[in-house]
Structure 1
Amino acid sequence: MTPHDTHEEPAAAKAAPGGGTPLLEVRNLEVTYARTPGSPAVPAVRGVDLRLEAGQKLGIAGESGCGKSTLALALLRLLPSTAKLSGEILLDGEDIRTMSWGRLRAVRWAGASVVFQGAMHSLNAVHRIGDQIAEPILLHRRATPAAARRRAGELLEQVGLPAARVQAYPHELSGGQRQRVMIAMALACDPRLVIADEPTTALDVMIQAQILRLIEGLVADQDLGLIMISHDLAVLSDTCDRLAVMYAGRVVEEGPAKAVHAHAAHPYGRALSSAFPRIG
């Protein structure tokens, strides 16, 4: 069994629309973490290749510690200083790994954004959510405070919350509402790529379903590229077009989401799939 089994598709399905540049292309990405001076580095991501088109939803699945969150952080160079990054991360053909700090700062939020897991820990408890949504708009869009505030209200309505909630503090919202705020923040500057790292982990089943439908609708309406990271193959196969399975830092299988979930070719993919109960 090769380390990167795939479910084959017609060549036309793999090519970028019109044969153009994909929204995101990752080539031979490797991430290692330094421990103590003189000790060998610990590999976390090993030779990952991925491709994503605008309007496409790619799921990345794997157990805790397999490297999927490290991969997500690497895509926008959000890794700690102890990490070493190599390979290519091409966003619209431009390599994020070699961008200047000024250019990278402009790309974050406006070109690509992240929805982190655990919204309560990602939001600032002492600032109103409207101010937190407006902050990237002020920085990247050079908007006036009044215009940024109006845009924050529009974004809340877009994710299913009343615009008046701009006055709320994070502790005044439920878990599902806070996650909607995180999605609104990610969309604040109209990015082309959204990376969602375990966006529904702390939510109950009903709220989880609402958030997933919301994300799907936003991707379709705005022609976004979406990378969704989870340990749950069932969620990813229901939400995403394609699915990549990570194990020990490598992508061991990739293909159409439902095919990978139902008929995984790699032993680890089959083990993940069989770990979930099938009712009926």
Structure 2
Amino acid sequence: MLETNVTTVHDSSPSPASPKRTNETKRLSAVRRAWRALLIPRFAIPGSVIGLLVVISLFPAPFAGLFGHGDPRQCDLTRSGAEPEPGHPFGFDVQGCDLYANVIYGANPSITIGIVVTVSAMAIAVVLGLLSGFYGGWFDNVLGRITDVFYGFPFMVAAIVILTAIGTRNVATVCITLAIFSWPTMTRLMRSSVMSAKNMEYVRAARALGASSGRLMLRHILPNSIAPVIVLSSLSIGGIIAGEAGLTYLGVGLQPPAISWGLQLNTAQNYFNSHPHLLLFPSLFLSVTVLAFVLLGDAVRDALDPKVR
């Protein structure tokens, strides 16, 4: 009797991955590449500086207390304009207040205005740009004309006119004024990105499968269109901080009793020859802050730009 051994042959070839899983894998790989590109010295250095400045702005008292009494409003006119000395490394302002404590407390309004204005303008730009680029038609035409009107007003001149007409000029009013004139450029950029993304094959495939307009915008178009706006926003924070300091320096921004780098520069302009330290230290902190945000924006741009990877 002949016995027949039947051997079952299993197919060892890997099963093809589903398109959905492949797309998710590619998306995760792109995110990992972006974060890996960010974790380099050119990101770590400005990121560390910005992190320290944000902590200082949130908790100024401990940092102001590292030297001297740390109270920016405790003044002694007998020390008006005094040079730096032990316990007071930045010296005293014209009212005899500790300049170091004033510079530390001045970080809060500047950084707050820069971040709040940028986030607000970005939120407006993302919503309007997404709707305009996706639907087009009359909404796109109306938004385009409104954007043209805002482009007709120079940023600083328009901010000066509005802030001059406002009776109370504090952090809230300055944020609202700057945000009003900061969204048009981001909106145009978001609109162009959406118009490019909505014609891609994956969007057409999702539409053919019955995806609604809301799902198309939020699930497919928005994640693939927002990167340029994020880059522009990260680059804009430094400009907003410098703009606020410029407006306050001109006397149309924040007003006393607020503590701001712009106010300190405004006061120091009349005493530069006799007391140069009044201008040196606030301008140094302002320059370092603006430069750190600009360098961070450059790092974010390089991380999110596939052409540089």
- Could you state the TM-score of these two structures normalised by the residue count of structure 1? 0.26
Higher helix share: 2
Which protein, 1 or 2, shows the higher relative CO under an 8 Å CA cutoff with sep ≥ 6?
Answer: 1
Higher strand share: 1
